[in-house]
Amino acid sequence: MTDTPIKSGPAYAVLAARLRERILSGDLQPGERLPGDAELTAEFGVGRSTIREALRSLASQNLIHTTRGVTGGSFVATPSVGHISEHLETGVALMTAAETVTVDQLMEVRNLMEVPAAGLAAFRRTEEDLAQLRETIFDPTETQGPDTFAKNQEFHLVLLRASRNPLLELITAPVFRVLSKRFGRDHAPEGFWECVDHDHRAILEVVEAGDSMTAMNEMRRHLDHLGGSYRQMDTLRTT
């Protein structure tokens, strides 16, 4: 495989860019050990200090991890949905704080992802998924607090995982968490948690029944309810 041109810069940055390219292209596989200092020196004509800086740069991007000892070295990181999702969440949160994206735009993404995910979940869910969904159901007549917010979030995350497509969770979960953190401490409109509880139970029922089309319709209706409440809370925040 021929490397694509890399812009000039500090030697360590050029080396890091070359190695990053090989990792992202799959030339270096997850778990594979990176070439040693001698190999990198021979190939790129750089010294050990340059190699160390390049490896630090790759580690800061969570592309590699380094272990010590006789069998140690630098290895390509094995990706995880949770870890990548955390980094994406940071970017989404910064864009939201800077008002680069609106509540409506965040909800559009959720509709694009979570509606079909609910349909897939109804078709692919396991008994374990159903058990986890049932555990997230709460009593809306009780005083609401952090536990309620956590269960609300977990309901949606379990549905995303039940779709058996990790990209749906990777893309959607950060948006959901940003919205939850933005409004989680605000006073919810009257009847908000009763509506959430009703919608969650309705979605759970049709997912249990394996009814994909109705699951999508119920999720769409639920997100419409949430969008209206979030817009109301967002207006109160800015007035």
Same domain, 102 and 184: yes
Same domain, 60 and 106: no
**CA 88 to chain CA mean position, Å:** 6
pLDDT tens for 38-96 read 999 999 999 999 999 999 999 988 899 999 887 889 999 988 888 888 888 888 989 88
Same domain, 111 and 192: yes
> What sign does the CA torsion over 42, 46, 48, 54 have?
negative
Cβ-contact 223, 115 below 8 angstroms = yes
pLDDT tens for 110-159 read 999 999 999 999 999 999 999 999 999 999 888 777 788 889 999 999 99
Q: Assign residue 72 the CATH number of its domain.
A: 1.10.10.10
Total number of domains constituting the chain = 2
pLDDT tens for 153-207 read 999 999 999 999 999 999 999 998 888 887 765 577 889 999 999 999 999 999 9
Same domain, 136 and 209: yes
Same domain, 70 and 85: no
Residue 3 lies in a domain: no
Same domain, 61 and 107: no
Same domain, 224 and 167: yes
Please choose, from the candidates 84, 50, 47, 55, the residue with its C-alpha nearest in 3D space to the C-alpha of residue 72. Answer: 55
> Residue 207 contacts by C-beta under 8 Å, 6 or more apart in sequence?
118, 121, 122, 125, 130, 133, 159, 162, 215
Task: Among 46, 76, 106, give the residue marking a domain's end.
Answer: 76
How does the average pLDDT of the chain come out, rounded?
90
Same domain, 56 and 129: no
Task: Among 76, 100, 131, give the residue marking a domain's end.
Answer: 76
Residue 4 lies in a domain: no
